[in-house]
Every structure is written in structure tokens, then in C-alpha cells.
Structure 1
């Protein structure tokens, strides 16, 4: 077995993009679009994929990929490959110590080639024996490759929720080799020595292969047609007509909403303008009233001065306290000017103030009229806004929501009908071709009978998966069986494929980790590392085929995270997830958090460094 130690991207003028892993549990969590899933693409590419799939823009400046491994005796192997394609190079040292071109190797062998390739190097390094597996029912064999192992140790975010077998993956022409690969993992035995059936004629063999392919293609089509038959009264044309009518209605409602929005904008503008003018008028009136109070105060003061002068004339004559002389009008200590002069000045000033107060009263009245007008505008604008909002809330929004929901249902039904029609058309074509081939060589060709998977080993594997589910606090008995027809597990009497995507993801993860543990305990072939993307897809359990997405059980999620801290250091489990594990778990194993663009300056933004 081997373990992954480091993934490194290098390019001219940019810092290395690097991430390291260690024995046992490893977690890479973080926001979307931070390069987490790109790590699995890098591994797929280094394991011999023809090209790097879905390169991310942030990686465009990088040209080389390095992946460093370590085996159980501590030896180091680093694989190098240019991101634009081509062969690989191997180095027997860590990435940072590479000096030179390394030994060249092919991504895969073609035909009868014996060239050094990625499978040979990795198998030798991991202590895996070269194996020969049957590739078809006739008994022809082929070499086991590292890529046939991929479905059981490199699970991306699509495969984890897929309804397809966790052993067979996407399937195709290599379905039989992957079934035999699984049998090889259960028993350690390969198919060397199997004698292939004789080919009576090349043409007949070609017909058998074509018939097998057509039968394999026809089976899932007929299954889907039986599960979802098209109703007689239902048709694509009727659904499209209903969609067109509903779209027109939706367009009309949208236009009325736009009109109401324009009216609301205008009323809001009028309201704001009127409110501003009312506020300004209130401020100005306050200042006018202060001025009016000042005028009244001045008039009262002038009246007081006039009355004081009048009474001053009636005072009796007395001697000056300073010079003991009579205090007459020409006395040197008295105030200059006569009382008459003071009274005249006071009356003149009062007359002037009365005139100004009159003008001020007119200004106040005009301003109060303006304020009253603007206040009326405020009230009318508010009433208009209330009517607009009420119509939008009571009529327009419900109508739009109803139309949108009905459109969504109709569009989904149209897609379903188109899929059903395409399935029926394809099935009809395949049936005609199948009948034609069967007529060409008479009786249907007989298939060879091959040994089934070993029941004892399957039971032991299922027990290990049950242990995993128990550790995760699975809500149920957790009784696991293996379906040899679907090459998938059945848990508590229900097949994994019949659950919703969230349960499928959890059970796929349990199968993968259980298989790793089974092989480790029984010293059976396995790469020794599993990388799983997004195993905690949210779900809530329901009836078969009717599960809906929802919050994952908190206890089960917590137990899942805790179980990673107890992973045997002789193997390696790498979890790539959007969710962040509890701090207690993160502190007990290798953990990375990719914060994305919203992270702080101290956070790691993603796999690719931010320059």
C-alpha cells in the first residue's frame, strides 16, 4: 500500500501551489471555487488520464504537476507530468529535492507494448502484484491497471451521489474487468490461466459482441420506459402550448409590475420632495416666529422707555447729591438731551418695527400656506404609495410566483417527456438492430458460466461496512448486504441506489472506507489511500425513491468527523468537503481550510496561492 504525501503545481514566475497530506485522516474543507475538487483532477491526471479535465483559470500560469507518494517502508516516489499532456517522469526523492529529468514512463500501455508505465511503477512501489483479469464472458484476459482501481479510491463529487455502482463507476466496455478487479480485491486471486473460448468465426464473434452491447444498452432504456410510461393524454406539443400561454401571461404580469414600479418611483420622488419642503418650511417658520418674538420684545421695551420719560417730567426738583445744587435741565451731572427727544425717537423706532412686523406676518402666512400645500402632497403621495404596494403585494407578486411555479413544473414535464420519447425511439432502433443480428446467426449465442463472488469474503466486507456505519451512528439497524447483480450494497433491506443523493453519498463513502479497512485487515490488494469529494451532501431519509434533500442528522455528521481521527495510520483517508469540521476534530488530524475571497489576510484562500 502507498499514501499520498504532496501535490505541487509549478510555473514560471509564480509561487508553487502545494498541499501536503499525512497518514490516517486528512480533511480539505472550504468555500466553493477554491480548488478543492481540482485536487482530484490532478490525481486523475497523474494516474494516466489522457488530459487534465476542467482546468481552472487560477492554474493557467502553472505548467507542471508533481505528486509525491510514500510506501509502508518509507520510500518516496514523485511523479511529474506536464499539464499540457504527454508522458510522465518518476523520481525517487521528494519534490523539493528533484534535480534532473527523472525516468520516463507512459500514462498507459497500448496494444502489446511492454513499455514502463504508471501502473507498473505504482504497483511495484505499493507492493501490489501485477494481475491478469478477464475482460469479457468469452474468457479473454487483460492486464489490471491503476485506472481500473479508480472507482474504489478516487471518488469525485459526481460519482459520490451517482446511482451507479461504486465498483463499476460510469461503466462501459470495461465493466467486466472492474468486476474482476473487485473479485481480485476480495480474494487476492486473478484470472491468469483462464482459457478463452474458441472463436468459430470472426464475423460471429463480432455479432456476439454487437448483440451484447445492444442488450446492455437496451436494458436500462427498457427499465426507464417501464418506470415512467408516457400517458396517452400527455404530449410534448400540449405541454409546449401550455408553456407558451403561461409565458405570455407571465410577460403581461411583469409589464404591469414594471408600470406599478414606475408609478411608485414617481410617487416616492414627489413624497421626498414634499417632505423636504415641509421640513424647510418648518425650519423657516421657527426662525420667523423667533423674529416676531424679537419685534414684540423691542416694542415692549420702547413702550417702557416712553412711559419712563413721561413720568420723569413729573418728578420733583431735588439737590444733586454731588454738588448740593438743584438738579435742573442744565445741571452738569444730568443726562444730555430732553425727554421729548427720547419719546420721539422711541415712537419712530416703534413705527419702523411695526412695519417690519407686518411684513413678517405676511411672510409667515404665505409660508404656512406653502407648508399646508406640501403637507397635502405628502399625504396624497403616501396614499398613492400604499395603494401601489398593496396591489403589488396582493395581486402582482402572488400572480408572478404562481406563474413561475407552474412554468417550472411544465418545463420539468417537457424535459421528462422529451427524455421518454428519446428513450423509446432509441429502444425501437436497438430492438430492430437486435432482431436483425439474431436472424443473422440463428440461435442466440450461449454465455459462459463464471464463478460468482466469494460469499465468505463478501460477508466479511459487509461486516466491515456495518462497523463503519455503527461508528457513524447510522439511524437504523445498519445491516449490510451486497447485491451481485447491481454490484452495490443494500442497507437495512433498501438498495443504496434507491435512496436520495444524500444517503447515496454517505453509503458510497461507507462502502469505500469499509473496503479499504477490509483489504488492510486481510492484507489484500488495495492502493492504500482513498480520496472522497463531498461525502456529507445534506439529506433526510424517506421512502425508497422519495428521499429529499435536507439537513443531515447532526449526530451522524459529528460521528463521521470523529471517526476520521481514529483512522489506522497504515492507511490514508482524504476528505474534500465544503463543510467545516468541529474544532476538536480539526486539531486531531491534518486539516486545511480554504477561505476563498471572503477570508481574512491570514487565511489560505485556496489551493492556488493568491499573487
Structure 2
């Protein structure tokens, strides 16, 4: 079935202006200063996915109803509305209504009120993913089972600003004592299997001894990988000192020249586009002038015909009036002269008409002269514009593009000069071997035991694919001195260069947590049976504005690389990111940017139109 994505999030209330943010099916980035409403949007999404926490209070905002529209790629829609109501436990606070009103044109989803507590609403959301029946998953090591709901795996694709930098696995439910349910929920998404019939076989004592031995070996391997990572950093510093500076300068100069040529091509192309617009305009004017000239010619022919006709009438009447006709008086039979008064009047009227047409004919000749001059001027202008445009297009095709291609060939030859030293290659190769050894040991399945350990039964094929995807993205995003990275089946979390994520600073943890969920989304896209097909991140690149110590921040190059990678590799998924400041070196042409300005005079002030900075969040 066609995947659904979040089309819009809105909020309304009795005395406030309706507020709404719309999203595209691909990458969406909410950005702007703190307290502008970005987190409100993220919290509203969480609220509409069944969270008990309200996104904001009615007292502080005036808004009491949240709206969310899901739309499929084949244009089917499901509209959900949920109210913020009084806490029914007697506390003077707000809570989310148990009922969600749904209006749908999707045949499999009826339009009525769904209960959250009875799991009706969760079942409806799962149905949109293709999960038609209710399943139970193993939730504890004691084999306790619980219903699979949309919130069982919500944190595999949703993480807010309060949890983006947490030390626990990114997909784990915050403040939840056990991760078992999250793991079995992920396994279900990948395989469609809920593992409800698994029976443990290995004793607890044997398992603990085996675990202790395995952990000791893994700790030793991780220490070696950390040593290799430090050695690689030293080698890179040495390489920078002895590197051919002439080659580097040539590379830099060539890059600048390529940039200059590409800029010239861009400006020339823009100039050609403007000339084509002028040519189109002049052509239109020329066609109008030519048509008017033809109309003038036809009118002149008509006027000449009218002049000939009138002159013929006047001449005839003049000659006829000069003849004297003798008429006899009917009473005395004497001779009388006939005076044709009507004929004289007719000749005078014809003369007046002739004078008028003669005057109009003179005016017409002047108009023809003017329009012919305009036609000549337009033809000359058109010829000049075509000449200029031809010169530009020839310059692009014969000069600029060949030069650009030549420079790129030179760049490739310069790049080949820069080589990795043998010792650095040996370090990388050894790191790969050690990382694979540690990964394989972490993947080793244990024997039967009296407690349920999810990694004994989870399909390691999809976990390995996820881990490999994670390592690739970490390296692509310029993690410092990265020689290895994996999602450990033992800790269920990231280990980079043998160092656990939990030992990193907040900025690095936010960076890694974002990649963990992004790589999970891509792994599900590649081989999952069911998938949410979306990723929602709040503040993936922490800045100093989030009150993070400077030494804990991810490198600016890493942050820009992360944004660039997510924009370029979204795939068949929806991504919604909320961030204060976004890297300005990334091309966002394929992304949908939504900026909250907190400025009354420009852009969108914030999410809630009736709320200002004093309470907006």
C-alpha cells in the first residue's frame, strides 16, 4: 500500500486564530530562533501519535485542540482531531482527551471517534502501515507480553529535544526501565514476527559466565581500536607536514578557477534567459505592429475606393446641374426653368463626405508611416538581440564548458597525486578486522537460558545491515578520525572508534542519535516488512544556544555534513527536523524550509499565530 506522511499539524481554540504548518512528503526543516514554536510543532505530532503529555497548556496559549492530517502518496487522507481537556484525576492541569475524532476517505479506516485507552486509535495508525491485526510482543526478560502499539516503536523514528542527546539507545522509550519491548517491536517491523512462542534454554549461571568472557574480549578489542584511532590521528598530522604543498596549491587554484568558470556559465545562462525574454517581448510587439500595418493598408484601400465613388457622384451631379430643362406652366402654357434643389443638396453632402475621407486618408498615411518606422526599429532590435544571444550561447558551448571540463580532468590528475601512506592503510585494515571481530563476538548467540534475551532471537541480518548503514553514514558525515563504527548488539547503541556513545559529550550524542535513527529508517526502507517511513528530529545539531559546553559540540563540518546527507538521502521517507540554526553551506533546494522569524514585519512569526514570544516555545 502507498505510504502515509504528515501533511499538516494545526491548532485551534475558541478565541484564537487557527494555526497550521504544512509539510511535504520528503525533507522538511523547521528553523528559527528559540521560543518561536518549533518544539510546539514537534510536541503536537507526539500528542497526535497518542502521547499523554499535552504540547502546551490552554491557559498560556488559548489553544485547546490539535489537528493532524496524514496523506498517502496516492492522495488518500486521514484527518485526526484531539482536544486538550481538564485532568480527570482532580489535578489542576491539562491532559489529552482519550477520544480522537477521525475523518477519512481511506476505505480501511472509518470516520468516527477512536479510543486511545482501548487501543482503537493505535490499531488505526498501525493499519495505515499495513498492520491489520493486533499483535503481542515480548516486553520483559520474564516473557511478559504486551500489545504492539504505535508507541512501542515511536522512538525509532521520533526524538524530541529533551532526549536527542540522551545516553540511552536512541530508539529506547525514555524513562522506561526495560528495552526489551523496543527491540522486539523493531524485530517485528523488520520481519513481521512477534516471537511470542520463544522458550529460553540456557541457565542463568552459564549465560553470565559466557557473557563475562565475551565482554572481557570485547573490552580488550575496543581498547586496541581506540589506540589505532589515536595512531591514525598522529599519522594524519605527520602526513599534513610532509605533503606536497605545490599539489595542494594547484588543487586550490584549480578549484577556484572551476568555481569562477561555473559562475561565468551561470551568469551567461541567466543573461541568455533574459535576452530570450526580451526577444519574445519584441517578437510579440513586432507581430502586433505588422498586424496593425496590414489593417492600415486595408483601410487605405477602402478609403481610396470611397474617394473614387464620391468623386464620381460629385462630377455626375455637377454636369447634370448645368443642363437647362424647359418646363411648361400648366396654367398658361408659358416656359419655366427647372431648378433641381434636391440634386444640389445631394452633391453638397457628397462633397462634405469626400472632404472628411480625404482628411482621414491623410491621417492614415501618417499612421502608416509611424507604424512602418516602428516595424523597422523592432526588426533591428530583434536582430541585435538574436546576435547577442548567439554570442553568449557560443561562448558557453565553445569556451566556458570545454574549459570547465578541462579543469575537472586536471583536478582528477591532482587528486591521484595525493596518496594514503602504507602505515595508515595498515591501521585502517587492522581496525576493520578488529571491529568485525568485536561485532561478531557481540552477535554471538547464547545458549538456552531461563530469561528472555531478545538478541538471541532477533534476525542478525537486518541488524548487521542497520549497523553497516550507520557506519557508512558516520564516515560520510566527517566524524573525526573515524576508522570504525557500529550499532552494538550488546549495548544496542553506537560505538565509534571503540568508544561508546554514552562516553561522548551532548553534541556528539545528539549527532550520533540522529544518525542511529536515520540509518534505522534507511534499513527499514531497504528490507523491512513494515515501516513508519518517517523521521522526526528536534535539535539534531546542538549549538551553544542550547546551553551545551563548547567542548561537547559536534564539529561544524560534521553538522553541515549531517544535514547535507539527510537532505540528499531522504529516499522514500518523510523527514521533519526542528533546529535553531541550520548550516548555511548546504543546498536545500530539494527540502521544504519553514522559518519562524519572531519578526512581526516579515515571514512567519511563530507556530501559534495568537501567541507571542513571552509564552511561545
TM-score by length of 2: 0.51
What is the distance in 2 between the residues matched to 1:602 and 1:14? 20
Query: In the alignment, what sits opposite 1:463?
Result: 468
What is the distance in 1 between the residues matched to 2:49 and 2:12? 18
What is the distance in 2 between the residues matched to 1:120 and 1:177? 17
What is the distance in 2 between the residues matched to 1:152 and 1:38? 20
Query: In the alignment, what sits opposite 2:142?
Result: 138
What is the distance in 2 between the residues matched to 1:477 and 1:571? 28
- Are 1:121 and 2:124 an aligned pair? yes
Q: Is the 8 A contact 2:560 2:585 kept in 1?
A: no
- Are 1:105 and 2:107 an aligned pair? no
What is the distance in 2 between the residues matched to 1:568 and 1:165? 22
How does 1:283-322 map onto structure 2 within 5 Å? Answer: none
CA shift at 1:107, angstroms? 1.4
What is the distance in 2 between the residues matched to 1:60 and 1:103? 28
Q: Name stretches of at least 5 consecutive residues in structure 1 with no aligned partner.
A: 95-100, 109-114, 198-443, 540-545
What is the distance in 2 between the residues matched to 1:533 and 1:67? 18
Query: In the alignment, what sits opposite 2:44?
Result: 42
- Are 1:12 and 2:17 an aligned pair? no
Query: In the alignment, what sits opposite 2:162?
Result: 158
**135, 144, 148: which one pairs with 2:152?**
148
TM-score by length of 1: 0.51
C-alpha spacing 1:75/1:471, structure 2 compared with 1 (3 Å):
farther
SS at match of 2:486: strand
What is the distance in 2 between the residues matched to 1:26 and 1:467? 23
Q: Name stretches of at least 5 consecutive residues in structure 2 with no aligned partner.
A: 86-96, 202-448, 613-617
SS at match of 2:101: strand
Query: In the alignment, what sits opposite 2:568?
Result: 566
C-alpha spacing 1:490/1:88, structure 2 compared with 1 (3 Å):
same
- Are 1:169 and 2:173 an aligned pair? yes
- Are 1:480 and 2:485 an aligned pair? yes
Q: Is the 8 A contact 2:596 2:603 kept in 1?
A: no
C-alpha spacing 1:480/1:142, structure 2 compared with 1 (3 Å):
same
What is the distance in 2 between the residues matched to 1:18 and 1:191? 41
CA shift at 1:190, angstroms? 1.4
Deviation digits for residues 389-423 of structure 1 (CA, Å, limit 9, x no counterpart): xxxxxxxxxxxxxxxxxxxxxxxxxxxxxxxxxxx
RMSD of the TM alignment (CA)?
3.2
Q: Is the 8 A contact 2:466 2:523 kept in 1?
A: yes
Deviation digits for residues 127-177 of structure 1 (CA, Å, limit 9, x no counterpart): 235463412233232221111112111101111111112122324355321
Q: Is the 8 A contact 2:9 2:67 kept in 1?
A: yes
C-alpha spacing 1:102/1:83, structure 2 compared with 1 (3 Å):
farther
What is the distance in 2 between the residues matched to 1:554 and 1:604? 27
SS at match of 1:83: strand
Query: In the alignment, what sits opposite 1:249?
Result: none
Q: Is the 8 A contact 1:35 1:608 kept in 2?
A: no
What is the distance in 2 between the residues matched to 1:555 and 1:448? 39
Deviation digits for residues 353-394 of structure 1 (CA, Å, limit 9, x no counterpart): xxxxxxxxxxxxxxxxxxxxxxxxxxxxxxxxxxxxxxxxxx
Q: Is the 8 A contact 1:130 1:143 kept in 2?
A: no
CA shift at 1:60, angstroms? 2.6
SS at match of 1:159: coil
Query: In the alignment, what sits opposite 1:80?
Result: 81
Deviation digits for residues 214-273 of structure 1 (CA, Å, limit 9, x no counterpart): xxxxxxxxxxxxxxxxxxxxxxxxxxxxxxxxxxxxxxxxxxxxxxxxxxxxxxxxxxxx
SS at match of 1:26: strand
What is the distance in 2 between the residues matched to 1:583 and 1:548? 21
How does 1:200-211 map onto structure 2 within 5 Å? Answer: none
Instruction: Tell me the number of residue pairs that the alignment of Structure 1 and Structure 2 aligns.
Output: 345
CA shift at 1:452, angstroms? 4.3
SS at match of 1:585: coil
What is the distance in 1 between the residues matched to 2:478 and 2:452? 44
What is the distance in 2 between the residues matched to 1:196 and 1:480? 31
Query: In the alignment, what sits opposite 1:69?
Result: 70
SS at match of 1:565: helix
Query: In the alignment, what sits opposite 2:35?
Result: 33
CA shift at 1:40, angstroms? 1.9
CA shift at 1:489, angstroms? 1.5
Query: In the alignment, what sits opposite 1:495?
Result: 500
**577, 580, 584: which one pairs with 1:578?**
580
C-alpha spacing 1:548/1:131, structure 2 compared with 1 (3 Å):
farther
